[in-house]
Chain A
Amino acid sequence: MHHHLILRVVSKMLIPPILLYALYVQFHGDFGPGGGFQAGVIFAVAFILYGIVFSLDHLRRAVPPHVVRRFVALGLLIYAGVGVANLLLGGNFLDYSTLAHDPKHGQHYGIILVELGVGITVAAVMISIFFAFASRPPTIKDTDW
């Protein structure tokens, strides 16, 4: 896609707002529509757009695949870790009320942490899947579409 000048310029301008919007959706999910699942997908879309419009090598330099694979596990570990922390603090598994003195605040902290875990895993899985598909040699050439 080296010849698509307009696409390259427009995506360069779009990628930062997409990332920022993903973070907004992630951390504003308890007040409006949104949450970890949506934010993770939107976050991944920014990287996928970069990978499609520029090149896979550019994307590999920005986010190395082996690093992304670590994040796949990290999100799930954060989620389960919150549950274990609740157990250690004397509550039930995933009973966030133990996280703070005020149960309501505890619930709020718990939701934010858990959604963060969901967002990390979803974003990392989507980027990894894109890497997996895009790294295979295509049988249809760019010009044949």
Chain B
Amino acid sequence: MEAFIDIVLFGFLILTAIAIMRLRNLFAVVMLSGVFSLLSAGLFVVMDAVDVAFTEAAVGAGISTVLMLGTMAMTSREEKPPVHNRLFSFAIAVVVGAALIYGTTDMPPFGAADTPVHQHVGPDYIERTPKEIGVPNIVTAVLASYRGFDTLGEVAVIFTAGIAVIVLLHGRTRPARSADARKKGKDA
């Protein structure tokens, strides 16, 4: 049953991604990217990552969409037809994809319990959390306590990105840069 839900969700995800690729109306593209985030949140729930699904649903489907719509309101609604060589781009994607799929042939089976991923720190956290931290949600325990320093760094990144956006978009609008404007400035 889980595998069935998995395949259906992946099917929808790929369809949404293809629609994003083909559409040129940016409003539709932004809305579909919100749909994509919500579907991937569903997939994360199927794969037991409830905290991740929660974050993805709130961030991807909520905040990202609002920000992209805000950007669109200040830029344009339509994408112009692509000028790049499509065949070349397609070849790049196919070659990289083939290399990655070749890499997965050596990967352990999906969902197996005896893979290297599940041998070291993971089970250790699960075992030690009830004894040392005493909170039921292991993800929170690892996030805030065992890997507290890491999370401090992440919060610093968010802080820096926020400051950067404020600095970039603060103040009045400068005149558009065009060859004429630049020339005039030089003459003056």
Contact = CB atoms under 8 A, between A and B. Distances in A.
Contacts of B151: 79, 114, 118
Contacts of B159: 72-73, 75-76, 121, 125
B92 interface: no
Which among B27, B161, B166, B173 has the highest number of chain A CB atoms within 10 Å? B166
Interface string A102-145: 01100110110011011001101110111011111111100011
Interface in B140-165: 140-141, 143-145, 148-149, 151-152, 155-156, 158-159, 161-163, 165
Q: Which of A80, A132, A139, A145 has the most chain B CB atoms inside 10 A of its CB? A: A132
Given A115-B144, A121-B155, A130-B66, A139 B137 contact: no
A34 B62 contact: no
B115 interface: no
B140 to A, nearest CB: 5
A126 B70 CA distance: 13
Contacts of A79: 151-152, 155
A132 B168 CA distance: 9
B153 to A, nearest CB: 10
A108 to B, nearest CB: 6
B58 A139 contact: no
Given A111-B135, A130-B70, A41 B75 contact: no
B17 to A, nearest CB: 24
Interface in B69-103: 70-77
A31 B135 contact: yes
A interface majority secondary structure: helix
Interface stretch (B4-12, B48-56, B118-126, B179-187): B48-56
B177 interface: no
B40 to A, nearest CB: 16
B140 A29 contact: yes
Given A129-B162, A138-B73, A110 B145 contact: yes
Given A33-B51, A94-B149, 15 more contacts: A31-B137, A33-B137, A34-B140, A41-B63, A45-B58, A48-B63, A93-B149, A94-B152, A104-B134, A107-B135, A108-B134, A118-B151, A121-B158, A129-B162, A138-B74
Interface of A: 25, 29-35, 37-38, 41-42, 44-45, 48, 52, 69, 72-73, 75-76, 79-80, 83, 93-94, 96, 103-104, 107-108, 110-111, 114-115, 117-118, 121-122, 124-126, 128-130, 132-140, 144-145
